[in-house]
Amino acid sequence: MTQRIPVVERILSANDELAEENKSRLNAANVFAVNLMASPGAGKTSLIEQTLPRLAEKLRVAVVDGDIATSIDADRAAAAGAIVAVQVNTGGECHLDAVMLHQALGQIELATVDMLLVENVGNLVCPAEFRLGTHKSVLIASIPEGDDKPYKYPGMYRGVDALVINKIDLLPYINFKMDYFQRGVEALNPGLVTFPLSCSTGEGLDAWVHWILENVKRKA
Ligand code: MG
Ligand code: ZN
């Protein structure tokens, strides 16, 4: 047991070194990159599908899709207007790491891209522990998951730069106490910028898209 901790630390620091290299490549090409994390079914791919058409006139967006198997999500991203969509099959791993993003970046002509959306594997635990080299980390929560998730997955909520609360159109049908949820978030990540929205109705998407555009402008 006592030997386990140093090994884990070594793996993480090798990952962090490569994450820095990824970030340097993205910066050299002036690409703003976002790591999207969520549990399965929270709406990562749906958010990408709704976001891409709203950015189409302004930004050239590439998508990297992490999944344990299949290329369903990358196909959806390409159909929604991604100029390139790279599928990363993790071969059973339940998260993306910097090596996987490094390999995916090798398949993208970064000079032709303004923004990169990375869809991580659906999982609220280890994706938070593996830096990729993206500029912002965004967590997508959703109403059907329940209002207790900040309390159950503090590591994920603590480490992100923005929070999307998806499926707010379902609030009338589900016992989700928004006050309780937001108190949990505030305790872990005070002042976290939050976007309540619905990928089904389109409500709230404008504020989310505005946040992306402001970040791109700030980076340029
Ligand atoms: Mg997906
Ligand atoms: Zn994992």
Task: Return all residues near 134 (Cβ < 8 A) that are at least 6 apart.
Answer: 22, 23, 26, 33, 34, 35, 101, 116, 118
Task: Return all residues near 151 (Cβ < 8 A) that are at least 6 apart.
Answer: 184
Q: According to the model, what pLDDT value does residue 5 have?
A: 67
Whole-number average pLDDT of the chain: 95
Would you say residue 1 has pLDDT above 60?
Answer: no
Letter string b/e over residues 140-151, b meaning 16 or more CB atoms within 10 A of that residue's CB: bbbbebebebbe
pLDDT band for position 217 (50/70/90)? very high
Contact 65, 149 (CB under 8 A): no
Task: Return all residues near 7 (Cβ < 8 A) that are at least 6 apart.
Answer: none
Ligand 1 centre from 6 Cα, in Å?
A: 33
Contact 113, 12 (CB under 8 A): no
Q: Which ligand is nearest to the CA of 46?
A: 1
| Residues 112, 62: Cα–Cα separation, whole Å | 9
CB atoms within 10 A of CB 48: 25
Top-confidence residue, 90 or 219: 90
Q: Report the pLDDT averaged over residues 57-79.
A: 93
Q: What are phi and psi of 97, to 5 degrees?
A: -130, 180
Contact 96, 132 (CB under 8 A): yes
**Residue 18 lies in domain:** 4-219
- The model carries a pTM of 0.94
Q: Report the pLDDT averaged over residues 52-60.
A: 95
Q: According to the model, what pLDDT value does residue 85 have?
A: 96
pLDDT band for position 135 (50/70/90)? very high
Ligand 1 centre from 10 Cα, in Å?
A: 30
Q: Report the pLDDT averaged over residues 120-145.
A: 96
| Residues 94, 126: Cα–Cα separation, whole Å | 7
Nearest Cα neighbor of 143 from 204, 83, 90, 96 is 204
Q: According to the model, what pLDDT value does residue 63 have?
A: 97
Q: According to the model, what pLDDT value does residue 49 have?
A: 97
Q: According to the model, what pLDDT value does residue 4 have?
A: 64
Q: What is the CATH number of the domain that holds 81?
A: 3.40.50.300
Burial of 138 (0-12, 13-18, 19+ CB in 10 A): buried
Three-class secondary structure of residue 12 per DSSP = helix
What is the number of structural domains in the chain? 1
Q: Report the pLDDT averaged over residues 17-40.
A: 97
Would you say residue 11 has pLDDT above 80?
Answer: no
| Residues 46, 76: Cα–Cα separation, whole Å | 9
Q: According to the model, what pLDDT value does residue 3 have?
A: 58
Q: Report the pLDDT averaged over residues 18-26.
A: 97
Ligand 1 centre from 94 Cα, in Å?
A: 13
Ligand 2 centre from 14 Cα, in Å?
A: 16
pLDDT tens, position by position, 159-189: 999 999 999 999 999 999 999 999 999 999 9
